[in-house]
Structures are given as C-alpha cells and as structure tokens.
Amino acid sequence: MCLILFAYKIRPGKKLILAANRDEFFSRPTAAMDFWQDNPSILAGRDLKEKGTWLGMDRSGRFAALTNYRDPAPMKNNPPSRGKIIKDYLTSDNSAADFLEKLQEQADSFNGFNLVLSDTESLFWFSNKGGKPKKLSPGIYGLSNHLLNTPWPKIKKGKKALEKIVLNKEKLSTEDLFHLLENREIPDDSELPDTGVGIEWERILAPIFINSKSYGTRSSSVIMTNNDGHALIAERGFNGKGELQYEKEFYI
C-alpha cells in the first residue's frame, strides 16, 4: 500500500472513512480482496509471494493497513515480510495498543514501514522510522511512503479532496472516494520530494494513481465504518495499463 487517506471521527455516524491505493510491481503475484480460506475471519487481499497483506479487516471490525517507507539506504538482508504484520495482528486477540507494544520490540528487524492500526476503541499510527506509536485524535490524515502527513503533493491533494467529500457531501458514496483515488495528475518537478530514487521515478511515483509499464496502482480500496462497528469495504483492481479489471464489495 502506498497511499492511505482517512478521516477519523469527523462525520456524524461514521467512525472511519478511508481511501487507499496499493502500488506494486505488476509481476508480483496477488490475490484480490476476499475472506481467506485458511482464516475466514480475515477480509484482505493477499501477497502470494510472502502470504501477507497490505490492508485488512476482521469480522469484529479490527483494521490494519501498511505502507513501505521509501529509503534509498540499502535494504536489510533477509528481513521478515512487512505484510505479515497485519496478518499477525488480525489473527491475534491483542488490542491495538498491546500489539504495538510487542511490535516495537522487533520493529527494527523489518525494512521501513508505516502502520495504521485500529481496534473497536482506538486508532494508532506507528512507523519504525518515526518513534513510538501515536494514538490518533479525530481528523483528516494522509500517509504515503514517508511519515504521517508528510506534505508530499499527493498527500496534500488527497487530504483536501477527502475533506471536501466527508464534510460537504450530503450522502457518502464509494464512487466519490474511488474517483479521488483515480487522479493521475503529475505535479510540477518543483513540488516533488527528493527521496533518493531519481527524478524519473519521483515523477512516476508522484500521482495519487500510478501508471507505468512495470509498476503502478494494482488496487484501490474504500472502507466506511459506522459508529456501531459495521463496515462497508470495497475494492477495485487494475491491470498494467491502468484499466479496471474487477470490483468487489463486502459488508461486515
């Protein structure tokens, strides 16, 4: 997952409203969002290489999503898969706070990551590049491949669009949120961050929706959780040309 935009407790009746894009190499094998056959309590897509996931929810309404932290420094040798963090949380009985306390003890063994984690009571953000877990207060948040609310163009644009939808739309729809996630505008070079990957890759990675020959937005996800814990989860999948391939919708 490379972009997570979310509104937490700022619209009456809605606890969490989230719109996210998963960006990945098209060669990496992936299963679309569904309830896992080996653990039917988990609703998530699946990375078929490491068997983890980038975003998921269980039937009780606990939720987790993860982005990689872009760092030009050498990657760790044989680190554990970051995608297994979400699997471990959703298959545990731990509260979000307890899980994060244990995760901190081994966080440095992973390559850089950001994690958004919730249980029925609280919502947290944690990065092994950003210090201790932070319990989030109501607000609009954006997360890409740096720390929470880092003002990259896609974060600023995405947060502004999400706030407009959440606060001004009389009726929320998944279509409005998916439309937000389809924005393919490339910012001016003067606005791009310098994350050590070179200007060509900065341009490729800058839009909300990424579209290139080998790497791009593989799926878009929308979650709307009510105050009573019930949630609507929807996913759209795309091919290497940025064309819609499937749509799925679930209720928990």
- Count of positions (residues) in the chain: 252
pLDDT at 76: 87
pLDDT at 86: 98
pLDDT at 25: 96
Quick check: 208 and 20 in contact, CB under 8 A?
Answer: no
Structure token digits, residue 88: 């471990």
* Segments of the chain with pLDDT less than 50: none
pLDDT at 116: 98
Query: How far apart are the two ends of the chain, measured CA to CA in Å?
Result: 22
What are the structural domains of the chain? Answer: 3-251 (3.60.60.10)
pLDDT at 250: 98
Amino acid at 128: N
Burial of 95 (0-12, 13-18, 19+ CB in 10 A): middle
Structure token digits, residue 167: 């606060």
pLDDT at 74: 77
CA atoms of 156 and 166, how far apart (whole Å) = 16
pLDDT in tens, 171-196: 999 999 999 999 999 999 999 999 99
CA atoms of 40 and 57, how far apart (whole Å) = 11
pLDDT at 151: 97
| Strand positions, DSSP E, the chain | 3-11, 14-25, 30-36, 39-47, 55-58, 63-68, 113-118, 123-127, 134-135, 139-143, 215-226, 231-238, 244-251
Rounded to the nearest angstrom, the gap between the alpha carbon of residue 179 and the centroid of all alpha carbons in its chain is 16
**Phi, psi of 153, rounded to the nearest 5 degrees:** -55, -45
Q: Is the pTM of this model over 0.95?
A: yes
CA atoms of 177 and 35, how far apart (whole Å) = 23
